[in-house]
Amino acid sequence: MNLNQVVAQIKTQLSLIAIVWVLMPFAVNAQRAPVAIGPVPNARQIEWYHREIIAFFHFGMNTFANVNEGDGTAPPQLFNPTALDCNQWTGVLKGAGITTAIFVAKHADGFCNWPTAHTNYSVKNSPWKNGKGDVVKEFTDACKAAGIKAAIYLGPHDRHDSRYGTPDYSDYYAGQLSELLRNYGPIWEIWWDGAGADQITTPFYDRWADTVRKLQPDCVVFGTKNSYKYADCRWMGNESGLSGDPCWSTINPVSIREEADHITQLNHGEIDGSAYVPAEVDVSIRPSWFYHQEEDAHVKTVAGLWDLYFSSVGHNSVLLLNFPPDKRGLISAIDSIRADSLNYLIKGTFKINLAAGATIKSQHPRGGIYKPANMVDVNESTYYATNDNEVTDTITFNLGKKKTFDVLMLQEVIGLGHRTIGWSVDYSTDGKNWIAIPEAIGKQSIGYKWLIKFKPLTASRVRLRVTSGKACLAIHTFGIYKQPSIKL
């Protein structure tokens, strides 16, 4: 190689180096993760979302008095379950695929399901196990044995205790809260009901919340009214299992504090809310919260529970489903069968994503590790993202052949905040003529999970059109599914 050739080669190498330096910022930008926008969930809330369904157990004096709202005058001697078996409760949950349960330790009637040192109105003065029983312990022990997260409802409202609403009551409640959080192992959630608790002031909750954070720092707080400052999740605004459409995880705290005047905000959330407090949707599998034999014929059908799943978990919320034990202390067989059937539907429907393996094209891919294929993989840590300045996109899934489906699922990366605020889904049999799925037109929120079901349709291509957003896309999952055959 002569001198001229050497010089020419050096110039070529220098030119390539220069090009690399010019393009490097763009390459780095393509790999950089999207920046979070607005309020985002804490670690407790992310774990809470992944539970999806939580069981509620309303059991106590009201069960034996055959009422839903006891006045606190029923004698302790009335409480006497004949076959209490909390392992049977957790067995029902295992069959239903439910991994977390909340037990009502004390409802508004004031009767305590554990032998508290702070009042005589408890199981220690009942004939059950000669006053030596402890339902809370049996519940938490059963949960531990079954690998289920145990949680507690300790009603702030108390119709039995004359100190209710006074500073002395704050001491009384704090003592009971401390007992439950110290003596029964990990407590996954504390449920502060706002019903009737209008005399419980924010300073009371300041103290009680400090107790929770000190004794159980990982405990999720269901907050309402004056406990709004500490809420990890909020009330939905109804007890029918119906989340709003849209349903944002963000909300302004005033809407939680003044819930009676902000039912719409509780139900839908607020797109520009200053706090991240998603909705926990409480509903009973029966007409009432406590067991009544006459309601055995009115347990929610499988179809009804399937609808509830879509209007709660499928609306960016968590479903809190109540199973009231009867006077024996057992969950009714019909309740168990219906819950098991719901689990069958959930597992059967979402077992196979019919979009998996599709050829995917998008208009504004971010590139690098944020590829469109991430939306149909099974990896929890991968997702698709657009460039920072692209808040809209059209993403086409070529399924390779015609497939029949009747359920649609989208999931955002919730750790990056609400981003997409307008989207629709279309389908096609030839890639040229597109038909909108009526139920998936003009949708707004996504969040942790958004589900839509519709009459079965057949297509070879599906198209997600994101029409507006607060920031670039960060879509974790896009899925289409077919429900299994089951008598609803």
DSSP per residue, 416-429: G---EEEEEEEEES
Contact 350, 479 (CB under 8 A): yes
pTM of the model: 0.93
Query: How many residues comprise the chain?
Result: 488
Distance CA 320, CA 318 (A): 6
Rg (CA), the chain: 27
Residue that the structure tokens 């029966």 belong to: 286
pLDDT in tens, 458-474: 999 999 999 999 999 99
Task: Give me the residues paired with residue 235 across strands.
Answer: 280
* H runs (alpha helix) in 329-482: 333-350
Q: Where are the domains of the chain?
A: 43-350, 359-481
Distance CA 41, CA 276 (A): 6
Contact 335, 92 (CB under 8 A): yes
Cα 384 to Cα 249, 316, 370, 393: the distances in Å are 21, 19, 5, 11
Main-chain dihedrals φ then ψ at residue 321, nearest 5 degrees: -105, 120
CATH architecture, domain defined by 359-481: Sandwich (2.60)
| Token code pair at residue 381 | 């840590």
The domain defined by 43-350 folds into TIM Barrel (3.20.20)
Contact 108, 157 (CB under 8 A): yes
| Token code pair at residue 153 | 């409802």
Q: Which of 16-20, 52-56, 171-175, 455-459 has the lowest mean pLDDT?
A: 16-20
Nearest partner of 430 among 398, 478, 455, judged by Cα:
398
Distance CA 256, CA 117 (A): 33
pLDDT in tens, 44-71: 999 999 999 999 999 999 999 999 999 9
pLDDT in tens, 69-112: 999 999 999 999 999 999 999 999 999 999 999 999 999 999 99
pLDDT in tens, 408-457: 999 999 999 999 999 999 999 999 999 999 999 999 999 999 999 999 99
Residue 36's identity, in one-letter code, is: A
Question: Cis bond leading into 325, ω under 30°?
Answer: no
382-393 CB burial, b ≥16 within 10 A, e <16: bbbbbbeebbbb
214-244 CB burial, b ≥16 within 10 A, e <16: eebeebbbbbbbbbbebbbbbbbbeeebbbb
